[in-house]
């Protein structure tokens, strides 16, 4: 009976077992001896059966980890098949085809079976990696298995290279034979572990190609490759290599065509298949060179598929363009395709799917980053820059990141190499203006006009319009040109003489070389200016990413600003300073989103990376100089963030050693230190021997910051600080201020018992002299603040020293001194005295709290020790509450009220100054007096209660915005110190949110935000005051208010609990706006003068019947019309009670207030009022924070109830809120539309609809 290969293969199963009578040794010897003699013995049924049994026993041997016997079995079979192959090759045409066919088929069948077992072994080994398996043993087994696999694959390859045409006859036999080999290598290809060996992978790819090409089995191979594609992520790369190898190595285009045609004809793609097809297409475009262009129509068929695959086609096009542009020959042949493909990519930038837009930018980045390209893409660069800038506002973060990456690549490869490649606007603009002026001098400007007409219609202008919307190039550069006195440079009508085309060309051909060079220079600088302008816009948008909640956006912006700094783009400087504040970012560092780490790396790259070829001394000086320059032009907020950055730089960065290095027993982590001792020494040198004052200031700032990390930096330099920082001969307030900070930081955080402050007496003397200095310079106050802070840190008897300083200052102020400009000096001296009083009062409180903490700490230590001294036992016996009560007694009764307190003696003077601002009108005096007053309010609750009304009056009525801001801040401190006292007057603080000055509004918003989020005050109805700021015209206030609500939403149901009260407050604001608008219209109709005369008459009149506020009785049912005339008549007919009179008086007062405010309004002011449109914007922002369906449902029920009796404006507000809430309720959908809640929603919406329709009909 002939051997049936197809039956044997299909009936085989790896689950089959050997019989109990099987003898491994006997069978192995029998088969090995027989096949060693000749492969033909495989036709013997006993030998074939023994060989099959040996294979069936492999799983048992695999469990025993006995690869030695397994290898023997495999090598026996492969060697025998190899011998048969050699016999066929050696026989030529003289052999028995039928006999060799059976030998060949039996061997192929056995090898196929062995492959299945080998594949199972690879899969088992891959699973074992996740368990506790010895790595070395596993690696050894995998290596031996790869050796077995290599022998199988090499044998297959040799068989396929043999002349089998005389053996495999007809059409069916080659198909069956190749099918068995394909099944074998297909199963191997599917296993990830088996394909890790590069040599085996290469042979397997070659086998696929041999089957497809030499045996004409394209259809079988392509179907198997397509069938494999959805299963594993490693397969697309292998399949791409098979197709590419078949095309480039065997000239087989049919395999590529069949695979891609089959895939493009699919109507549905699963997620895995779409992903793997994308990888396949991209990989093919990378492996194929010019063949990609020759077969580009096969790839373009995928443009109409789903977004995942369509996006990969963009990358394919980019790779094709790069291949074309890599050689001159390719470019000559395919140049027209380049423009078509680029046009296609640009069109898909507007695709509705983000992944396609993202890949379009990735494709453009690939094109732009290609080095050695024979096409420079200069005509596209401006447009791509503009497109990327426009899409920085894309709603997808992935697209935004890709757009930024494209911009970075464009900047790195820009063609403007003059000025060492730096893109300084000032340089290119200066060169442009100079060239323009010279050209305008030629032929009285006629020549300039000749080429200027054509220039205005260049592609560059259209590209800029992409970013600047309706602004043309005229608008972009016009301001600068006007400033440079070439304001008519862009004029294209009027005095510009027009030429026909022929005359135009003739004129241009006549120019000299010098003029031609000047034209080229001007065009070059003009293009550079336009390019820089677009980049300026991109940096402006990118700066908003620094505040993004998405870490990917933030990191992308950091990297972009780093590139901008490297190319000296001036508009990037603001962002670089802004991103410094990211040093405070906390949160997880998962998935590489290490914002702080990236920020530090960026600053190291920009400022602390000298050139390698420099000497060590020059490198040190560069780092020190760069650090000092970071302090220039910094605000206080910038310096605080820079301080944090310097501390992080001092800590250094862990070296990322290799895994093998980290696993060593004696491994010690290494750190890269950016701020080394030599750098600190160089900074010290700049402090002593400075060239510019700001260099010295920067040096002492840095030393104070570094001392925060290591106190010894300041401790060892105290004499130096005293000599140079507080030097009376070259005294400077700012340097002295930071010197005081440095002196304070010479104390370690954990103070040793034997610690002695160096030069304490000299330091105290210097500080006392500073505090007693009589000056009108405003910088003294910052210096005095730091000097007092330092004094209280280093002096153990700071309270006595401070009292002595106050006494001497009082003598200086009130003593009989013959001084010039006595009034000015005494005023400034009094201001200084008030400042010292307030600050010493606060520092005394802090000092007392430290004493209390120290007492508790010592007591706890004494309790924990076993061998206490008698003194310590006495201390233990003293009650802790007694000490606390004593401290509280001092705060409440001694500091501001005690007979021996120096502060108490001067509080009447303070009251005199702050209550008589007209008499004591000096601004600085009033500011320092009120600041001192605010600090005193935080010392004693008794003093606070006595003076709170005065405090609130000053905060509301002071004409100085700085004074009001200080008092707002002080009231925040009062809220923390004496919450109960403050709680009754918190509305006064909220009123300052609507102060006339933005600075006061910002201060108040920050104060309120802190108090609410810290849990110091509760907020409900006042939430409306904060909500109105969400739509404030000032972007800073708007951003802060939105951040407040985002943070408040993290608290337990805070927004939900306060929503109804907030809504009521917003409704009142809308009603007030409506009244203001009516009054303003009256002002416009009657004229301001007549309106004010009527207002005086109204104000002088009695509160009669005609003064009824119609709005107070304008309550209507949601579905019924109420006859309001009846209500009014009834109200008039009744005799008014005292309460009703009071109500009418309040209504009149409100009406007066509205009319007075309306008289002072401008058209712009009316536009800023809080109306219904702004209300809707607020609600849309706030409602997403009510994110639970149950909460939304409860709010809808409450609002529906309120709609039954309310004013018209309230009804509109409630209806809008209900609609927005229902829209956001996830349970309100078609699937459960029959639920009770959904029906209730439908009923409410229907009622609202009917009411609105009835209104429209009326």
Q: Given the DSSP bridges, would you call strands 671-672 and 1116-1117 parallel, antiparallel or unpaired?
A: unpaired
Select from 434, 530, 450 the least CA-distant residue to 492: 450
Phi first, then psi: give them for residue 670, nearest 5 degrees: -105, 150
Gap between the Cα atoms of 108 and 178, Å rounded: 10
378 occurs within a structural domain: no
pLDDT tens, position by position, 637-674? 999 999 999 999 998 877 665 655 666 666 566 678 88
Name the domain boundary from 288, 318, 346: 288
Q: Tell me, yes or no, whether 74 and 158 share the same domain.
A: yes
Q: Which of 611-620, 1093-1102, 1167-1176 is the least confident region?
A: 1093-1102
Q: Tell me, yes or no, whether 199 and 251 share the same domain.
A: no
1045 occurs within a structural domain: no
Two structure tokens written together for 997? 């000055």
- Mean pLDDT over the full length of the chain: 83
pLDDT exceeds cutoff 70 at 1016: yes
Q: Tell me, yes or no, whether 804 and 789 share the same domain.
A: no
Sign of CA dihedral 978, 980, 985, 991: positive
Helix (H, G, I), strand (E, B), or coil: what is residue 1117?
strand
pLDDT tens, position by position, 494-514? 333 343 445 555 555 666 788
pLDDT exceeds cutoff 50 at 216: yes
Q: Tell me, yes or no, whether 728 and 805 share the same domain.
A: no
pLDDT of residue 575: 93
Query: Residue range 1197-1224: average pLDDT?
Result: 88
pTM beyond 0.85, yes or no: no
Please say whether the beta carbons of 628 and 686 come within 8 A.
yes
Name the domain boundary from 263, 288, 313: 288
pLDDT exceeds cutoff 60 at 398: yes
15 occurs within a structural domain: yes
Q: Tell me, yes or no, whether 100 and 188 share the same domain.
A: yes
Q: Which of 678-682, 925-929, 1207-1211 is the least confident region?
A: 1207-1211
Partners of residue 654 on adjacent β-strands:
671
980 occurs within a structural domain: no
Q: Tell me, yes or no, whether 168 and 243 share the same domain.
A: no
Q: Tell me, yes or no, whether 1158 and 1201 share the same domain.
A: no
pLDDT of residue 707: 95
468 occurs within a structural domain: yes
Name the domain boundary from 1171, 1188, 1223: 1171
Gap between the Cα atoms of 189 and 207, Å rounded: 11
Helix (H, G, I), strand (E, B), or coil: what is residue 653?
strand
34 occurs within a structural domain: yes
Helix (H, G, I), strand (E, B), or coil: what is residue 877?
helix
135 occurs within a structural domain: yes
391 C-beta neighbours (distance < 10 Å), count: 23
Instruction: Count how many residues are written for the chain.
Output: 1258
The alpha carbon of residue 20 and the mean position of all alpha carbons in its chain are separated, in whole angstroms, by: 68
Helix (H, G, I), strand (E, B), or coil: what is residue 1119?
coil
One DSSP character per residue, 1184-1210 reads GG---HHHHHHHHHHHHHHTTEE-HHH
Q: What percent of the chain has pLDDT over 70?
A: 85
Select from 788, 743, 645, 630 the least CA-distant residue to 697: 630
pLDDT tens, position by position, 881-892? 677 788 888 888
Q: How far is the first Cα of the chain from the last one, in angstroms, to the nearest whole number?
A: 101
pLDDT of residue 1108: 42
Phi first, then psi: give them for residue 1051, nearest 5 degrees: -80, 160
In the block, residue with structure tokens 């043309």 = 472
Burial of 930 (0-12, 13-18, 19+ CB in 10 A): buried
Q: Tell me, yes or no, whether 830 and 792 share the same domain.
A: no
pLDDT exceeds cutoff 90 at 684: yes
Which structural domain range is residue 722 located in?
711-796
pLDDT exceeds cutoff 60 at 476: no
Q: Tell me, yes or no, whether 59 and 175 share the same domain.
A: yes
Phi first, then psi: give them for residue 654, nearest 5 degrees: -65, 135
887 Cβ neighbours under 8 A, 6+ residues apart: 848, 849, 851, 852
Ranges of beta strands (E only) in 1036-1142 are: 1116-1117
Q: Tell me, yes or no, whether 152 and 253 share the same domain.
A: no
Identify the helix (H) or strand (E) that includes residue 671.
strand 671-672
Gap between the Cα atoms of 265 and 866, Å rounded: 87
pLDDT tens, position by position, 120-136? 888 887 777 655 555 66
1086 occurs within a structural domain: yes
The total of structural domains in the chain comes to 7
Identify the helix (H) or strand (E) that includes residue 639.
helix 636-651
Burial of 13 (0-12, 13-18, 19+ CB in 10 A): exposed
Two structure tokens written together for 267? 């109507």
pLDDT tens, position by position, 419-461? 889 999 999 999 988 888 888 887 666 677 766 666 655 555 5
Q: Tell me, yes or no, whether 1134 and 1194 share the same domain.
A: no
Identify the helix (H) or strand (E) that includes residue 654.
strand 653-654
Query: Residue range 352-378: average pLDDT?
Result: 90
Residue 471: band (very low, low, confident or very high) from pLDDT cuts 50, 70, 90: very low
Two structure tokens written together for 511? 């120019």
pLDDT of residue 461: 56
Three-state secondary structure of 892-944: HHHCCCCCCCHHHHHHHHHHHHHHCCCCCCCHHHHHHHHHHHHHHHCCCHHHH
Query: Residue range 1237-1258: average pLDDT?
Result: 83
Q: Tell me, yes or no, whether 755 and 890 share the same domain.
A: no
pLDDT exceeds cutoff 50 at 1111: no
| Cα distances (Å, whole numbers) of residue 968 to 915, 955, 1011 | 18, 7, 12
């Amino acid at each position: 009976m002939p051997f049936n290969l197809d039956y044997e293969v299909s009936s085989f199963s790896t689950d089959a077992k050997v019989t109990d009578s099987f003898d491994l040794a006997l069978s192995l010897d029998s088969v090995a001896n027989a096949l060693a003699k000749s492969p033909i013995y495989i036709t013997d049924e006993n030998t074939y059966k023994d060989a099959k049994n040996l294979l069936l026993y492999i799983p048992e041997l695999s469990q025993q980890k006995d690869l030695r016997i397994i290898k023997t079995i495999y090598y026996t079979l492969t060697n025998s098949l190899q011998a048969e192959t050699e016999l066929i090759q050696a026989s030529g045409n003289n052999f028995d085809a039928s006999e060799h066919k059976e030998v060949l088929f039996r061997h192929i069948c056995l090898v196929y079976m062995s492959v299945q077992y080998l594949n199972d072994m690879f899969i088992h080994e891959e699973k074992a990696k996740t368990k506790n398996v010895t790595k070395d043993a596993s690696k050894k087994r995998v290596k031996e298995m790869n050796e077995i696999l290599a022998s199988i694959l090499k044998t297959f390859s040799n068989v396929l290279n043999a002349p089998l045409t005389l053996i495999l006859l007809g059409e069916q036999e080659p198909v069956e034979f190749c099918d068995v080999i394909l099944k074998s290598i297909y199963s191997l290809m599917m296993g990830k572990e088996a394909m890790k060996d590069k040599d085996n992978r290469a042979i397997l790819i070659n086998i696929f190609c041999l089957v497809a090409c030499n045996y004409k089995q394209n259809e079988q191979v392509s179907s198997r490759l397509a069938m494999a594609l959805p299963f594993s992520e490693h397969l697309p790369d292998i399949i791409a290599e098979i197709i590419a190898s078949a095309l480039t190595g065997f000239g087989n285009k049919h395999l590529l065509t069949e695979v891609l045609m089959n895939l493009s004809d699919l109507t549905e793609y699963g997620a895995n298949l779409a992903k793997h097809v994308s990888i396949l297409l991209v990989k093919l475009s990378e492996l194929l060179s010019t063949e990609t262009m020759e077969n580009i129509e096969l790839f373009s068929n995928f443009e109409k598929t789903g977004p995942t695959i369509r996006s990969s086609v963009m990358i394919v096009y980019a790779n094709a363009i790069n291949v074309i542009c890599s050689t001159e020959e390719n470019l000559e042949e395919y140049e027209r395709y380049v423009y078509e493909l680029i046009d296609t990519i640009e069109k898909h930038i507007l695709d509705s799917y983000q992944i396609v837009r993202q890949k379009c930018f990735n494709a453009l980045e690939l094109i732009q980053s290609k080095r050695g390209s024979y096409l420079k893409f200069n005509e596209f660069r401006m447009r791509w820059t503009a497109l990327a800038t426009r899409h920085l506002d894309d709603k997808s973060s992935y697209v935004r990141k890709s757009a930024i990456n494209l911009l970075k690549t464009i900047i790195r490869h820009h063609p403007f190499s003059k000025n060492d490649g730096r893109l300084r606007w000032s340089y290119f603009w200066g060169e442009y203006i100079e060239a323009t002026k010279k050209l305008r001098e030629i032929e009285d400007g006629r020549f300039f006009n000749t080429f200027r007409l054509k220039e205005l219609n260049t592609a560059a202008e259209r590209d800029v319009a992409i970013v600047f919307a309706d602004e043309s190039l005229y608008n972009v550069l016009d301001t600068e040109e006007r400033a440079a006195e070439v304001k008519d440079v862009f004029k294209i009508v009027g005095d510009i003489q027009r030429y026909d085309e022929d005359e135009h060309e003739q004129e241009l051909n006549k120019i000299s070389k010098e003029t031609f060079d000047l034209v080229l220079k001007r065009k070059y600088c003009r293009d550079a200016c336009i390019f820089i302008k677009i980049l300026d816009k991109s940096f402006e948008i990118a700066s908003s990413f620094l505040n993004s909640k998405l870490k990917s956006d933030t990191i992308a912006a950091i990297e972009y600003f780093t590139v901008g700094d490297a190319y000296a783009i001036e508009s990037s400087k603001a962002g670089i300073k802004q991103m410094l504040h990211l040093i405070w970012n906390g949160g997880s560092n998962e998935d590489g989103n290490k914002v702080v780490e990236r920020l530090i790396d960026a600053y190291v790259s920009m400022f602390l990376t000298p050139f390698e070829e420099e000497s060590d001394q020059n490198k040190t000086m560069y780092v020190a100089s760069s650090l000092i320059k970071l302090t220039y032009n910094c605000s206080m907020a910038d310096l605080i963030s820079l301080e944090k950055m310097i501390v992080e730089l001092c800590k250094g960065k862990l070296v990322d050693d290799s895994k093998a290095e980290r696993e060593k027993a004696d491994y010690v982590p290494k750190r890269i230190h950016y701020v080394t001792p030599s750098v600190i020494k160089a900074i010290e040198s700049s402090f002593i021997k400075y060239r510019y004052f700001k260099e010295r200031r920067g040096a002492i700032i840095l030393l104070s910051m570094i001392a925060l990390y290591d106190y010894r930096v300041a401790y060892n330099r105290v004499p130096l600080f005293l000599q140079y920082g507080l030097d009376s001969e070259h005294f400077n307030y700012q340097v002295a201020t930071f010197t005081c900070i440095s002196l304070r930081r010479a104390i370690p955080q954990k103070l040793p018992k034997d610690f002695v402050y160096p030069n304490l007496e000299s330091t105290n003397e210097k500080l006392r002299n500073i505090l007693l200095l009589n000056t009108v310079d405003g910088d003294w106050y910052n210096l005095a603040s730091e000097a007092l802070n330092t004094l209280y840190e280093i002096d153990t008897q700071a309270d006595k020293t401070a009292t002595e300083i106050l006494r001497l200052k009082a003598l200086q102020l009130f003593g009989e001194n013959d001084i010039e400009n006595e009034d000015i000096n005494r005023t400034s001296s009094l201001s200084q005295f008030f400042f010292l009083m307030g600050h010493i009062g606060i520092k005394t409180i802090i000092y007392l709290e430290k004493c209390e903490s120290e007492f508790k700490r010592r007591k706890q230590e004494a309790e924990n020790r076993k061998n206490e001294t008698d003194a310590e036992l006495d201390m233990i016996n003293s009650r802790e509450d007694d000490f606390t009560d004593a401290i509280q007694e001092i705060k409440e009764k001694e500091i501001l009220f005690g007979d021996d307190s120096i502060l108490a003696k001067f509080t009447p003077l303070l009251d005199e100054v702050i209550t008589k601002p007209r008499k004591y009108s000096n601004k600085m005096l009033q500011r320092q007096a009120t600041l001192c007053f605010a600090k005193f309010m935080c010392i004693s609750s008794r003093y606070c209660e006595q003076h709170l009304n005065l405090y609130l009056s000053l905060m509301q009525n002071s004409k100085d915005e700085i004074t009001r801001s200080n008092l707002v801040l002080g009231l925040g401190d009062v809220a923390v110190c004496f919450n109960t006292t403050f709680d009754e007057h918190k509305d006064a603080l909220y009123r300052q949110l609507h102060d006339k000055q933005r600075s006061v509004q910002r201060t108040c918003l920050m104060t309120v935000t802190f108090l609410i989020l810290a849990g110091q005050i509760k907020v409900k109805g006042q939430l409306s005051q904060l909500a109105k700021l969400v739509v404030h015209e000032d972007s800073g206030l708007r951003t802060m208010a939105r951040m407040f609500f985002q943070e408040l939403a993290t608290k337990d149901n805070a927004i939900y609990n306060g929503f109804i009260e907030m809504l009521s407050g917003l409704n009142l604001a809308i009603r007030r706006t409506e009244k203001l608008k009516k009054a303003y219209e009256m002002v416009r109709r009657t004229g301001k003068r007549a309106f004010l005369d009527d207002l005086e008459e109204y104000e002088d009149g009695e509160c009669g019947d005609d003064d009824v506020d119609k709005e107070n009785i304008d309550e209507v049912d949601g579905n019924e019309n109420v006859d309001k005339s009846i209500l009014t008549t009834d109200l008039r007919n009744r005799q008014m009670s005292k309460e009703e009179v009071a109500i009418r008086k309040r209504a009149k007062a409100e009406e007066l207030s509205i009319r007075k405010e309306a008289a002072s309004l401008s058209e712009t002011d009316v536009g800023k009022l809080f109306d219904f449109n702004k209300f809707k914007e607020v609600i849309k922002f706030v409602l997403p924070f009510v994110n639970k369906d149950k909460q939304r449902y409860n709010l809808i029920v409450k609002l529906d109830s309120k709609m039954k009796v309310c004013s018209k404006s309230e009804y509109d507000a409630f209806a809008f809120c209900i609609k927005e809430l229902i829209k956001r309720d996830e349970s309100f959908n078609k699937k459960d539309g029959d639920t009770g809640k959904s029906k209730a929603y439908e009923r409410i919406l229907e009622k609202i609809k009917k009411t609105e329709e009835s209104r429209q009909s009326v």
